[in-house]
Chain A
Amino acid sequence: MAEDLLVDPATLREQVRDKYRDVAVAPHAEHHFHTGRPLAARLDYDQTVVDAFPDRAVESFAGVGNPFSLRRLAPGERVVDVGSGAGFDSFIAAGHVGVTGEVVGIDMTPEMLTKSRQTAEALGFAQVSFREGLAEAIPVEDGWADAVISNGVINLCADKQAVFAEIRRVLRPGGVLQFADIANGRPVPPEALSDIDLWTG
């Protein structure tokens, strides 16, 4: 474990994977965060678009904000979704970029990848694909993306500097990082910062 990291990245990753496995397979169970259509409404996603999606595209959504609220993606853009989960934001992105664009979702949880791939096929989104990978090692070539999106993922990574460096690598010069995440307004005590249970809720 690197000296400047507060928790062990591998341990945190395993706990995050366990938690989001539950969200993939049991989206309607009680989690410590909101999920699905009620969450999308709370975060001010376009209701018409969300309503048109089948339940399986929305039910495991567990974001913390709306990465499209400050900028709508442009038609034809190439997009990477870091921590794509069951694919909800990737499907929203697919609608923005259209058939001339491309969306690549990256996730580390097998159950999420299975679900997102099946949903993309069911929705007929040929411009969307999903790859297994980590935010700290994005399986996308240098400078490929016009935009990177992410939602509630970077706060769950132990080495945020490594994640931002990796996002910068896959963006083209002038490319945009638009993401949603949580931030605390009050200082977290040092002993809590290293409490891995607090990181994963």
Chain B
Amino acid sequence: MLEDSGFGPVEIGPAVDTFGGAKGEDKARAFDVYGYAFLARKPS
């Protein structure tokens, strides 16, 4: 979606267990949800 929006190649960081131990953990586990960092540039 980022590249479709006119950004360059996307760098993605490792998965982070954002919801582990929180009330929303069960729902996150059901869909394998994790947090990620993303980095992309607007072309010059």
Contact = CB atoms under 8 A, between A and B. Distances in A.
Interface of A: 30-34, 42-44, 63-67, 69-71, 152, 160-161, 164-165, 168, 171-186, 188, 198, 201
Contacts, number: 120
B33 A177 contact: no
6 contacts: A63-B35, A69-B13, A71-B39, A174-B42, A178-B38, A185-B32
A90 B6 CA distance: 25
A31 B23 contact: yes
A7 to B, nearest CB: 16
Given A31-B23, A65-B13, A188-B31, A178 B18 contact: no
A82 to B, nearest CB: 13
Given A32-B23, A161-B1, A182 B37 contact: no
B42 A185 contact: no
A164 B36 contact: no
